[in-house]
Amino acid sequence: MPEVEAVRSDQEVREAIENIDLEPIKVKLMDKDEGQGWTLNQANEIEVWYRRFLFLSWKHQEQSIVPNKLVDKFWHQHILDTRKYAEDCERIFGFFFHHFPYFGMRGAEDKANLDSCFTETNELFVQEFGAAMPIEMDGSGSCDSCGKDSCSHSGWCSKCDGRKEDIINNKVRPTLATIGA
C-alpha cells in the first residue's frame, strides 16, 4: 500500500472522505443477488450518510459512533472490498478503522449501551450536519417512519441515560451464553 500522509484538519478529512470512490460499493449494494437490491437513489442517499458517519468517526475517535442499519450495511460492503477499504482508511484516518460487529449483542446492558451510543451519535449528527440519521431511507431524503427530512427516529434509540461500562470498548466478543443460547 502506498504511504499516505495522515490527515489532520477537519477540512482535510472532509476532502479525503469526499474523494474516496464509493461507486463500486454502491454497484454491489444495488445488485439484487449479491447485494441489497437498492435503487441508485437509495444507494446515493445512504452514501451521503455513510460519508458523514466516517467524518464523525474520525472527529470523535474517543466515542463509539454507531450508524443506523442502512449505513452499517454500506460500511459492511465497503469493508468487504478489503484492499480498497484499507487504502480508504489510510487516507481518512491514517490507520485501519476497525468494525466491531458485536456491540449490543452481549446482553441487556450491552444493548442499552448501544442504544445510548446511538442516541449520542444522532446528537453529533444533528450538531455537525443539522439532521439525525433516518432509520429508513427511500431515496427521497426523508424518513420512511415519519416523512420528515430530519427526524430523530432510530430503531435503536431508547434515550437511555444508562452509564456506559467498560464493555463499550468493544473488545469483548459475545458468547453463546451472553445471547441466551
What are the backbone angles phi and psi of residue 135, rounded to the nearest 5°?
Answer: -75, -30
Give the end-to-end CA distance of the chain in Å, rounded to a whole number. Answer: 42
pLDDT of residue 52: 97
Task: Provide the grid cell at 69.
Answer: 442499519
Mean pLDDT in runs of 10 for the chain (181 residues)?
A: 61 95 95 93 94 97 94 97 97 94 92 94 94 72 43 32 37 55 55
**What size, in residues, is the chain?**
181
pLDDT of residue 145: 41
Q: Which of 152, 120, 158, 121 is nearest to 135 (CA)?
A: 152
